[in-house]
Each structure stands twice: as structure tokens, then as C-alpha cells.
Amino acid sequence: MQIDLHCHMLPDIDDGPKTVEESKQLLALFAADNIDKFIVTPHITPGQYNNNKTTISAAYNQFTKRLKNQTQLLGFAAEVRASIEIIPLIEQQEIPFLGQLDGYDILLLEMPHDHIPLGTDKLIQWLLDRKIRPMIAHPERNLVIIKNLDKIKLFIESGCLLQLTSGSVAGLFKPDITHRAQEILEKGWATILATDAHNCKYRPPTLTLGRKAAAEVIGEEAAWALVRETPLSLLKHLRIT
């Protein structure tokens, strides 16, 4: 069993598929990649993708009604951009979490690709104080972390989890991104491996390829844990309502 906890599948809600038909085509690729279960994680990026739990839930319910005999799609969470604007959304319970681990709600937290926003450390501490543990989405693709791996240490030491993109590990992005992803694996910092799939052509699901590449770095058992055991632990507490 392989489980994907980060992908963009819902139609016309962010930079993923634009139509239901495109979403269905992407769904077929998940099956072809031997992804047995997954949840969708649309962007919540204030000022760009102004989603919240209510809008994502409505889009999720509308999409699942269009599907027949589909057992892969288990629910929804969100990929949330690190910004002060998410604080009121959290206070209003309008941020869907990725599940729970060790008594903490898990928030998939995204940073911009080219910098780490000023005050991110304070935001992370604010979240942790409220029993919300950030899982940093694809840190290996952040330009600051690509230049200096030590920039992610503060977040790890604070208690953040890390989600690597399967395509990064498999060498489908630039070589420096692959290098960083493999370093994070070697150091034992990765929590899960996920596709971050967006479409059929440029960003398809590649979880199997990523898992096999990870196995060459950390071994089969540890690689499987990134796509099976740890995601299963999170899904035990995934709340869809």
C-alpha cells in the first residue's frame, strides 16, 4: 500500500486541474502509479487562493459526487502558505489539518519557493503553543534551503516535520533539489514522501519512482515507512467534517 498526503486534485480551486474531466484523468494516473489511498490538499494562500475549510469541503463534496466506485480518495486537508493571515483562519477553525500525531494537529505548511518569510519562526511557535505541529511542505525546493541546508535546522529543532516531494528524490527537478532531498533523507529528517501532483502532463504522481529512489538512500523499510506506515498513522485522526 502506498499513501499520498499532498496533491492537488480538486478542479478549479487552485493551480491544479481546471475541470472535472482533468481531475478524473489525474485520478487515473494515481491508480497507475499504485497509489492506493490519498487525500487532496488544495492551496490556502491568502491573496491568491483564498480557500478555507468551508470552500474546500464544498469542492470536495461536489467532486466526490461525480465519482463512481472510487475508493482511493479518502478526504481533504490543505497546503497552507506561511503568513500572518492564516492566524484568524485557525482561530475560526477554517484550516483543515492533515491528521494528528502524538496529540498534535498536523498542518501542511508551505513557504514561498524563493525565501523564508520573516517571522516564520514566531508563527511556528504560535502554532506549537496551540498543539498544532507544522509539517513543512517540500523544503528541498526552497531556494534558501537549497543554498544552505542549515536554514531548515531551526524548524526541525523547533519540532516541525518535513514532507519531501517524490519527484525531488527521483531526480525529476533540478540536480541541486535532488541533492537536498537526498541529504534530508540521509539525515533522517523526512517524515513523509508525497507527490505534490498538480496535473497529468507536467506534475503527475510519481510516488513509486520516489519511493524506489529513496530506498537507494535509506533502504527499503525506511522508504516504505515514508509512504505507508507514517501516513497511516496520520490518517487515523483525519477529520473530514
pLDDT for the residue 235: 86
pLDDT for the residue 241: 47
- Cα distance between residue 206 and residue 158, in whole Å: 30
Asked if pLDDT for residue 68 goes beyond 80, the answer is: no
pLDDT for the residue 237: 72
Q: Is residue 122 in some structural domain?
A: yes
Assess contact for 138 and 196: CB atoms under 8 A: yes
Q: Is residue 129 in some structural domain?
A: yes
Taking only the tens place, the pLDDT of each residue in 114-161 is 999 999 999 999 999 999 999 999 999 999 999 999 999 989 999 999
Asked if pLDDT for residue 12 goes beyond 50, the answer is: yes
228-232: average pLDDT = 95
Q: Is residue 92 in some structural domain?
A: yes
pLDDT for the residue 36: 93
Taking only the tens place, the pLDDT of each residue in 24-48 is 999 999 999 999 999 999 999 999 9
Q: Is residue 241 in some structural domain?
A: no
Domain count for the chain: 1
Assess contact for 97 and 107: CB atoms under 8 A: yes
Q: Is residue 183 in some structural domain?
A: yes
CATH of the domain at 118: 3.20.20.140
Domain residues for 181?
3-235
pLDDT for the residue 119: 93
Per-residue pLDDT band at 240 (split at 50, 70, 90): low
Q: Is residue 240 in some structural domain?
A: no
Per-residue pLDDT band at 239 (split at 50, 70, 90): low
Give me the helices (H) in the chain, please: 20-32, 53-65, 86-91, 120-129, 143-147, 153-158, 166-169, 175-186, 207-218, 220-227, 229-235
Asked if pLDDT for residue 104 goes beyond 50, the answer is: yes
Residue with cell 523544503: 139
Taking only the tens place, the pLDDT of each residue in 183-192 is 999 999 999 9
Taking only the tens place, the pLDDT of each residue in 181-214 is 999 999 999 999 999 999 999 999 999 999 999 9
